[in-house]
Structure 1
Amino acid sequence: MGEGLELFTMGTWVLVLAYLTSTIGVFVGVTSARKMRTTSNSRLRSYWSVLAALVSGGVGIWLAVFLPMVGFAVDGSAVRYDMLTIAFSMLVAVVSVFVALAVALPAEGSGGPGRRIAGALVLGAGLAAVPFTILWAVRIQGTLDFDPMWLLGALALALVTAVGFMAQVETADTWPKRLLSSALAGAAVIAVHFLTGASVGVTVDPAVPAPTGIEVFSILFPLFVVGLLLLAVPIVAVLLTPDRVAAQLEREVDAWIAEGEGAGSTTAPATSPSGDRAGRDVAAPTH
């Protein structure tokens, strides 16, 4: 990290908030991805895949990575952001998750190890690109440059994180497993951001005009509210969606009861009010 650059001017509470945002986003996103993985309905599959991409990519990655930028400051220069580049970074986060899930979890059949590895590569590349593109959007009274060694370290950690995310989708079948793995993934996402931040060097030039663009809070506050609302959609959907195992058991019980009632109606002897067999008083046929 170059001289004159600060990453924690707002204190460590922002780091804690970013970590919690990433953890919750990954947790809800993985839950949505598992719903996508287990459903056989194509429309529901598309619904859950879009939700997983929006929540995991938009909240668990992009919003969590952008939150620490409120502490980003450069001595001797104002900091502004290019909106088009910021929008592109959001697109990278969401699309990389969507494509990774589509590659690793095809609609027909189960994805093999090769497809899961390919999906993890796509997701890892997207995760590494998000903090880089956010920092690329920074405008200062001077220039920014990046140390490639730190960027390679961020890419390596992003790939490992992506492998862990895909493993969650495959194996985390209970919420405690998902919560634990999401907590680890959240820490890794924030670490990727700060590894990328450590690669930045700044050169302030008073001769350069003051930067143009938008301030960080002009972007962050409305998108943070949108992110919270976005989290509520899959949470409500998961709560309203019946558990598949419980539903299957209920169907089996209903079928068993119906079968038992049907068998009882054909085999049970009919009786008269006096308790004798219904046909006992019928006269025998005469010859």
Structure 2
Amino acid sequence: MATAGAALGLRCTVRALAAEGAARRNWLLTASVAIGSGIWTMHFIAMLGFAVGGSAIRYDVPLTLLSLLIAVLVVGAGLFVVGLFGRARRRPLLAGGLGTGLGVAAMHYLGMAALRLHGGIVYDLTLVCVSVVIAVITATAALWAALTVRGVTGTMLASVVMGAAVSSMHYTGMVSVSVELTPGHAPLPGATAMEFIFPLAVAVGSFLFLTSAFVALSPAARRRPAYAEPLDDVELPAL
């Protein structure tokens, strides 16, 4: 899912760089939603495999949705920075990569904060820092690829690398997790993974694949033909 979102986002960014005005803005918005939702979907599909012996797990619905919104917003901010100002400058690329990477890390740990279980979660600070560094490097590489990759083959290779890097960030963050159980039988607030996370992940995944089909079928930007001149500049023969 992270790879699919990255591939769609990179193709939309390529379209954005060839467009102007509202068309560029719309392509960048689509790219932001694609990459951000792809990262978020990868995170929560992976969380379907997370279990704690001795405790049920629930998810806080508002916090989970907020983590999705943050993923889209921070990726969008980075894409707009480099898409509008960073084509010939290194500083906007680094600034966009730093902000986007920190936002992706915030999405991950906010998603973890949405967990509800009988006990508390403790993190290894060193591994958390490593995961944040991976997120920043990944985001910077993604934005660089968005500016430089042009061919379909290059886009596919870049998206596979991005997907692997995002997954590495996620599982590095998960290695830092320890759970201190507090035995209890009180019902936990929130929704189960199958009640909430799975349907939402399926919905976002379906959006990504349908949008991919739309982008693949939509015509690429073409230059105006040489003969398309204003009529005012054409001399008509006298009758």
Partner of 2:83: 105
**Alignment partner for residue 175 of structure 1, among 152, 165, 168?**
152
Partner of 2:140: 163
Map Cα deviations across residues 18-74 of structure 1 (whole Å, 9 max, x no partner).
xxx11111000111112122211x221221121111110012x10011101111111
- Cα distance between partner residues in 1 of 2:33 and 2:174: 24
**Secondary structure of 2:225's partner?**
helix
Structure 1: which 4+ aligned runs deviate by more than 6 Å? none
Question: Is residue 95 of structure 1 aligned with residue 73 of structure 2?
Answer: yes
**Secondary structure of 1:71's partner?**
coil
**Alignment partner for residue 66 of structure 1, among 44, 48, 73?**
44
**Structure 1 unaligned spans of 5+:** 1-20, 256-261, 266-287
Partner of 2:100: 123
Map Cα deviations across residues 64-85 of structure 1 (whole Å, 9 max, x no partner).
1110111111111101111111
Higher relative contact order (CA 8 A, sep 6+): 2
Partner of 1:18: none
AA at the equivalent of 1:73: A
Question: Is residue 27 of structure 1 aligned with residue 4 of structure 2?
Answer: no
**Structure 2 unaligned spans of 5+:** 229-234
Map Cα deviations across residues 181-206 of structure 1 (whole Å, 9 max, x no partner).
11011011111111111111111111
Partner of 1:277: none
AA at the equivalent of 1:26: A
Question: Is residue 200 of structure 1 aligned with residue 177 of structure 2?
Answer: yes
**Alignment partner for residue 33 of structure 2, among 30, 45, 54?**
54
- Cα distance between partner residues in 2 of 1:115 and 1:165: 14
Q: Is contact 1:141-1:210 (8 Å) kept?
A: no
- Cα distance between partner residues in 2 of 1:169 and 1:37: 9
**Secondary structure of 1:251's partner?**
coil
**Rg larger for:** 1
RMSD in angstroms over aligned alpha carbons? 2.2
**Alignment partner for residue 192 of structure 2, among 211, 215, 230?**
215
Question: Is residue 251 of structure 1 aligned with residue 205 of structure 2?
Answer: no
CA offset at residue 234 of structure 1? 3.5
Q: Percent identity?
A: 28
**Secondary structure of 1:105's partner?**
helix
